[in-house]
Amino acid sequence: MTTGLQDLWEKLGSMGLLGITVDQKYGGLNLGYLQHTLAMEALSEASGSVALSYGAHSNLCVNQIHRHGTEAQKERYLKDLVGGTKVGSLAMSETGSGSDVVSMRLKAEKVQGGWKLNGNKFWLVLSLLDFYSQKYLKQFRITNGPIASTLVVYAKTAPEKGSKGITAFLIESGFEGFSTSQKLDKFGMRGSDTCELVFEDCLVPDGEFPLA
């Protein structure tokens, strides 16, 4: 984690670029995908890695929560994500499930008080970019592996239903049973960190955490 990268992310937030498609009441600009694409092009001209991380955060995570989340979920997550004090990610692909999303193996089982997730996710862009506000910086460590703050994670809740049996969950890094594994040493886009996520009886509480 570098202070310069944190400063860059917060500057993107202060410019409104992290919430281009988000309603103004959550700190966004309330614009459309054309404007978001123009921002992506401009960032890509300067750094493909930064643009890759930016797109994963602002579209794959933030936009998902804004479009499909409950009001409570939007209030809980969007302010920090749009402001750049936290960075989000989306977890869909797995080692044996890329373009064939329905073949994913991460499963979510209903238990008392919530859901338990078991399995792995791979190719997680932004999994190292967990930027907290300055008062929290001394409290977290990245030396033992990537840390993600807010993730939209897809898991099978009813495998027999195929594509209709997949649910999106909101996962926070502090959830019991959630951890990160190997960081990929990539040939390109090295400035956009990527790693594996591990779910071992990861308990996702009922209430606002399953994405509506």
Output DSSP code: residue 110: E
Output DSSP code: residue 59: I
Residues of the chain with CATH 1.10.540.10: 3-85
Class of domain 89-205: mainly beta
Query: How many CA atoms lie within 13 Å of 46's alpha carbon, on the beta-carbon side?
Result: 8
Residue 28, burial from CB neighbour count under 10 angstroms (0-12, 13-18, 19+): buried
Residues of the chain with CATH 2.40.110.10: 89-205
Query: How many CA atoms lie within 13 Å of 66's alpha carbon, on the beta-carbon side?
Result: 28
Cα–Cα distance measured from residue 124 to residue 187, given in angstroms and rounded to the nearest whole number:
16
Q: What is the pLDDT of residues 149-167, one digit of tens each?
A: 888 999 999 999 999 999 9
Q: What is the pLDDT of residues 160-190, one digit of tens each?
A: 999 999 999 998 888 899 987 766 566 556 5
Q: What is the pLDDT of residues 71-93, one digit of tens each?
A: 999 999 999 999 998 888 888 87
Determine which of 97-101, 103-107, 195-199 has the lowest per-residue pLDDT on average: 97-101
Kindly report the pTM of this predicted structure: 0.81
Provide CATH code, domain 3-85: 1.10.540.10
